[in-house]
Structure formats: structure tokens, C-alpha cells
Structure 1
Amino acid sequence: MRLKRIFLRYYPPGICLEYIQQGITKIKLLDLLDLSENTDITKLAEELIKDEPLFRSTVKTQLINSLSTLKDVNCKNKQHVFHKVASLKTHFLPVTNVALNQQGNKFISGSYDRTCKVWSLENEKEILSLSDHKNVVSSLAFNNPYGDKILTGSFDKTARLWSTESGECYHTLWGHTAEVITVQFNHQSSMMGTTSMDGTARLYELLTGQQVAVLPSDGSQFIALSFDQYGKNLITASFDGEITIWDANNYRKTGTLIGHDIEITNSVYNHDSSLIASSSADGTAKIWDVRSTNCLGTTSKIPYEILDLQFDSQGKNLATASSDGQARIWDIKTFKMVSEMEGHKDPILKVSFSPSGNRLLTASMDCTGRLWNVETGSCLQVLDGHSDSVFFSQFSANGDFILTASKDGACHMWR
């Protein structure tokens, strides 16, 4: 085995090792969830070199520098005010989706104008326009942590794999008979997943673009697909209120999570893929144990739809967004509400934690994003300036900047 590259994973803290074994490139994840301001970085590096066969003593300096960066990002408590430094008119028709690469120097945007565009966050300019789709670009993703490939899904019933650097289309992924609505890479960047309004999810090999599996939904449309951290399982969620766990190697169904009354709105893994959280239009969020498929708890029911949710990187809290314009933080062990964020005038479409987990970012149909204190629920800042619904707001992987995107066709960058 030969170590090729080391990547930092800011959220949650860890390092990703890319190595070559018998001519095949593989990925190994090392969680560093106990990283704190008191961590002795030199000692940690020495322990990792001792315990991990891929490390040699020659990488000690590089490892110390990498761990120091990781510690700095995860432990410093940034409370500064973000200022808008750029407003990019990304498309002449409404933007449908946005994604950031892990390096924090590029983002991609998809639109009703049938294009996906690649943008530089360093010089705030368009790098590429990917324009082979024949209909709305509905979904997109980077193959993080690499960030050298882009996957797009379209209402033209196809998905496409592109080069981030050249814009070359490597593969067109065929098979769906209706609009593609979500696309995802697995964390090892070896497989791609898509869901469609045709009621199926499909899996494709990254290198060849060949379809390897069709996952049926038993008659209901899938609205979410997510791979676990280790390439073992994936989950799909559907409008009939069910979440299905699939074996990522033989593509067989290994479990079904049943408990929501009506359609699921989102479903995600936690940091170590031991838990699954689901949100529903029934006004609840649930947390499930992956191994037993048991529901561990349910948040207090509210008379509004839960539209989005996310785990924090510390494995302590779950954030939910709802159609009443409020975000809520829940303790994932007690299922009690930690704090409630009131201030948006319209439904919240997306929630995301800062890398350190002490702040929450929300995007709302009231044309604003907002930054909140997780513990107190107080609003720290209003990110305004958009003229239509803000459907995306996210921190960069190291927390240095925020990107917001709106149906007005613009993306704003805040530092």
C-alpha cells in the first residue's frame, strides 16, 4: 500500500487518506471527533503514524501542519460579522441548485436555463459553462473531497459527469424515463446515484458510466438519496413516508424505516453513519439506528411541515427547518428542544451548521438568510439583498465564508 494524498475533512473533523493498493486507488477515513483546543497536535500526529500502516515517519511534518489547520478551523469560535463581498448574477433564469467544493475555491450552479456553471470564489468569475443538457438542470454535486468532477441531473431524463477543470463531459447516464431530481457521489468517488420522477433510483460506476443497479420505490417517487461514509450502505426516501436502506455492494434492500404519517422531505446520515435522521410533512423529525433500524426518538410534533434537517459535526444536535418560518435545535439523545429561532417571515428551506457547530445558517422564502446562536436561538445577523426566495445558504468547509443562492438568479458571497 502506498499513500498518495491526505485530505482534510472539516465537517466533522477527520482526515481522508487516498492510497494505492495493487494498482487500485482507494480511500480511508480517520475520524478525529475528540479534537479540541487542548489537543497536543504533535502527540496526535505521532500516535497516528504509530497506529496507521499507511503513514511513514517522513509525513510527520505534513501531518502536523494538516492537523494544526484542522484544529484551528474546528476550535476557534468565530463570532465576526459577515460582509457581502460579491454578488454574482449566475444565470438569466432562476437558479435551481448550488454546491461548494471542499477546498472552498469553487462553486457550481444549475438553472432553468439548462446550464451548469462553475465559478471561482477566488476571483469571483465564471470558469466554465456546461451546456449539453436539453432541459432544466435540477440537481448537481461535486465529488468531494477531490472536487475534480461534477455530476448534474436534468429534467431531460439524464445525468452527466463532467471534468471540473476542462468542462469535458465524461459520461451521459441513461436509463431514467422521467425527470432526474437528485444526484449524488459516494464518498469514495467510485459510484454515482440518481433519483427520478419515474419512481426509481439508479447507480452507476464512475469510471465507465455504466448502470449497475436499479432500485425500485414500490410505486412512490424517491425524493432523497444519500451514501454512508464508508461505502457500505445508502438510503433512499420517498413520498410514501418510507426510508429504505440498501447494501451498496449487492444493491439489495437491508431495511425499511417506517413511522412517518406522510411524505418524507429529507433524510441524512450523521457524521459516522450510525444514525439516520428524517424530516416529514407530518410535522416531525425522527432519528433511527442504522443497525437495528429502530426509531430512537421523535421530535415534538408541530402543526407545520418540516422541510429540512441536518446533524451537527459533534453528534450532539439536530437542526430542523419548518414552513412556519422557524428553525429548531434538538438534542439527539433526549429529543428535547435546545433552542428555537424566530425571525423569518416565510418558510425556511434549508438549515446548515457552521463547522464548529455553534452557529446555524438558515435560508428562507422571505428573501433572506440568517445566522443564529445555536445555544440561545438569538439571531446574530440577517443576510439580505436577494429579491426572491433564498433556497441555499452554506458555510465553506473551514467556515471562512458563506454562500447564499436565490431564485432571483444571483449568488452572494459573504466573508
Structure 2
Amino acid sequence: PAGPSQVLVWDTASGTELHVLEGHRNVVYAIAFNNPYGDKIATGSFDKTCKLWCAETGKCFHTYRGHTGEIVCLAFNPQSTLVATSSMDTTAKLWDVESGEEVATLTGHTAEVLSLCFNTVGSQLVTGSFDHTVAIWDVASGRRVHTLIGHMGEISNVQFNWDCSLIVTGSMDKTCKVWETVSGKCVATLTGHKEEVLDVCFDLSGQLIATASADGTARVFSTATHQCLATLEGHEGDISKICFSPQGTRVLTASSDKTARLWDAHSGVCLQVLEGHTDEIFSCVFNYEGDTIITGSKDNTCRIWY
């Protein structure tokens, strides 16, 4: 098994280990492919660096140095020309994929920046911070366009909808908020959870919002009416991650109860319990087609489910 500073690349069809990406000097906390291309991998570490790797060979292209705190989140822009990183040092940074140079430092948050998301054309980036605020940035200039103020607790996640007209945010204040991108105004507050909202996401069409909470439940809301359509009950621990299938018909949740669950997005019925991990599951994701699930656990394993 990989140590916390190693990254393994697997062939999901065969389960074969293809590469070991070694070089970080501390825990690797964030990782991303440059989808839809899939030929590069970015890793962010508690060693305060981000590394860019070739997915085919496992070779390290660049090490991005400049953050003064742990890197906790990262993403490629849709064109795969930039990597964005966010850090405990209160900043986010933009890095050039080709040259390996820093392009911009996004300053203004007053606490850790824990989440970020590019819009679908790559012109804007949204960041969420422990300072209770969310910022929308213009990527080309590195300037802040809006600060979204209203949450009363740390921001756990931020995401654009498919046409980038809306942003959804989850917070430790037990609510989610929906914001207009252009105006920066809050258009809805989604309530009902009894504990912190640990994750939030749109489905691909942008019509549904799913929320995951430390209260052990998840919820599906209508983006248009802001009504709760379904409550997903059954987990016996915090739900730290939630995502929709690409078709939007299923919801996947990962929990500290060592299980992941697959739900019907509209009825809220649990369709499957994915059992086998021996410790908390902190990550879950569908593949592009929606017929394969990957889960990551504190038991130091990833599992692939078909």
C-alpha cells in the first residue's frame, strides 16, 4: 500500500497498478485528473507544493512552489492550461501547466481556503474559506469580482451550476446557499440539516442540488423552487461526500460509518449499500459513463465498484 505521500495510478478495468507517483514529503491531500483529456494528474500536499505528473508515464513535469501553508484543494481549468490550488495560507494560486510558472495569487480571504471551482469556460474561479465568505475571481486578471457574504460558519464546498449562472455553497452553519454569479446576490438558503453541511453539489443539468451533513442525512433540493424533494436516511455517521451520477438519476454518498450508499435521486430510496471498507470513507466518485464507482477510505485502500 502507498504511504500518505505516495500516489498510485491504477487501471480501473483490470485493477492493475500502473504507476507510483513519489516525491511529496508529506500527506497528499488533493488530487485531480485534467479531464476530459486525462493525460495529466495534479497533486497537492501538506508539504506546501503542488506537483504535475504525466498520467501515461508517471513522470513529474513540474513542482509548483510558493504556498506557505498546506495545499488542501486543487482543480484544472477546462482547457487544461491552468491548475488552481487553495491553501491553509489564506490564498489560492493559479499555475501555468505548460511552463510550470505561477500565474497569479488570489489574496483577500482571511482564513484557510478549503474549496474552489472553475466555471465551465474557465473565465471565473470561485473559492470558499473558513472566513465564512466565498469569492468569485476573474481568472484572466486575478481580480476579485464579488464577495459572497451571508454564511455564519466556515464554507465546506462551492460549485458552479452547468451554465455558471448560479453558485451553491455549503457551510458549517448547517445551511446551503444559492447565489447569482452575475450579481453576487443570495437567492435562496436551503435549510433542514441539524448539523454542519459537509458537502454540496449540483447535478449535471443544474436542476437538482444535493447536500451532505454531519447529521448523517443527505437531501436533494430543486434548484428552481428551493424545495426539499427527498431526504436520504440510513447512514450511521457523518456524510462527508456526495455526488450525482452523470445521468442525474442516482446520488452517491460516503460516510464515516465505513459504507457508501447509492440512492434514487428523486424518491430518496437507498438502492445499494457498498460495504467492505474497514474505516471511514472520505471520497466517492462516478466515472464518466456512470457505470463505475470509486471510493477512498482511511483504511488506506481505494475500491472500485461496478
TM-score (normalised: structure 1) = 0.72
How far has the Cα of 1:259 moved from its partner? 0.8
1:194-216 CA deviation, whole Å, 9 max, x = no partner? 11111111111111011111111
Instruction: Give the one of 128, 148, 153 matched to 2:39.
Output: 148
Instruction: Give the one of 38, 54, 65 matched to 1:163.
Output: 54
1:172-226 CA deviation, whole Å, 9 max, x = no partner? 1011112111121101101111111111111111110111111113421111111
The match for 1:209 is 100
How far has the Cα of 1:358 moved from its partner? 1.1
Matched AA of 1:407? K
| Bigger mean CA deviation after superposition, 395-404 or 235-244 | 395-404
1:402 correspondence with 2:293 = yes
How far has the Cα of 1:393 moved from its partner? 1.7
1:61-92 CA deviation, whole Å, 9 max, x = no partner? xxxxxxxxxxxxxxxxxxxxxxxxxxxxx53x
How far has the Cα of 1:303 moved from its partner? 2.6
How do 1:210-359 residues align onto structure 2 when only pairs under 5 Å count?
Answer: 210-359=101-250
| Bigger mean CA deviation after superposition, 300-309 or 375-384 | 300-309
The match for 1:177 is 68
SS of alignment partner, residue 223 of structure 1: strand
How do 1:354-365 residues align onto structure 2 when only pairs under 5 Å count?
Answer: 354-365=245-256
Aligned-partner Cα distance in 2 for 1:411–1:375: 28
The match for 2:303 is 412
Aligned-partner Cα distance in 1 for 2:192–2:106: 31
Matched AA of 1:381? Q
Aligned-partner Cα distance in 1 for 2:166–2:105: 25
1:280-315 CA deviation, whole Å, 9 max, x = no partner? 010100111101111111112433100001101222
Aligned-partner Cα distance in 1 for 2:46–2:204: 33
Instruction: Give the one of 355, 361, 367 matched to 2:258.
Output: 367
Aligned-partner Cα distance in 2 for 1:360–1:261: 27
Percent of aligned pairs sharing the same letter: 45
How do 1:54-65 residues align onto structure 2 when only pairs under 5 Å count?
Answer: none
Aligned-partner Cα distance in 2 for 1:139–1:174: 15
Larger Rg: 1
1:383 correspondence with 2:252 = no
Aligned-partner Cα distance in 1 for 2:214–2:14: 36
TM-score (normalised: structure 2) = 0.98
Provide the aligned length of Structure 1 versus Structure 2.
306
Matched AA of 2:224? K
Q: Are the equivalent residues in 1 in contact too, given 2:109–2:131 (CA < 8 A)? A: no
Matched AA of 1:226? C
Matched AA of 1:306? V
Aligned-partner Cα distance in 2 for 1:157–1:393: 25
Q: Are the equivalent residues in 2 in contact too, given 1:160–1:169 (CA < 8 A)? A: yes
1:129 correspondence with 2:20 = yes
Matched AA of 1:210? E
Q: 1:332 to 1:163 in 2, by over 3 A?
A: same
How far has the Cα of 1:241 moved from its partner? 0.9
Matched AA of 2:278? S
Aligned-partner Cα distance in 2 for 1:197–1:272: 30
The match for 1:40 is none
1:115-136 CA deviation, whole Å, 9 max, x = no partner? 1111001221110001111111
Q: Are the equivalent residues in 1 in contact too, given 2:124–2:137 (CA < 8 A)? A: yes
Matched AA of 1:142? F
Q: Are the equivalent residues in 1 in contact too, given 2:40–2:52 (CA < 8 A)? A: yes
Q: Which structure is richer in relative contact order (CA contacts within 8 A, separation 6 or more)?
A: 1
Aligned-partner Cα distance in 1 for 2:144–2:193: 32
Aligned-partner Cα distance in 2 for 1:328–1:269: 18
Q: Are the equivalent residues in 2 in contact too, given 1:217–1:238 (CA < 8 A)? A: no
1:187 correspondence with 2:78 = yes
Aligned-partner Cα distance in 2 for 1:390–1:218: 30
Aligned-partner Cα distance in 2 for 1:264–1:153: 20
SS of alignment partner, residue 105 of structure 2: strand
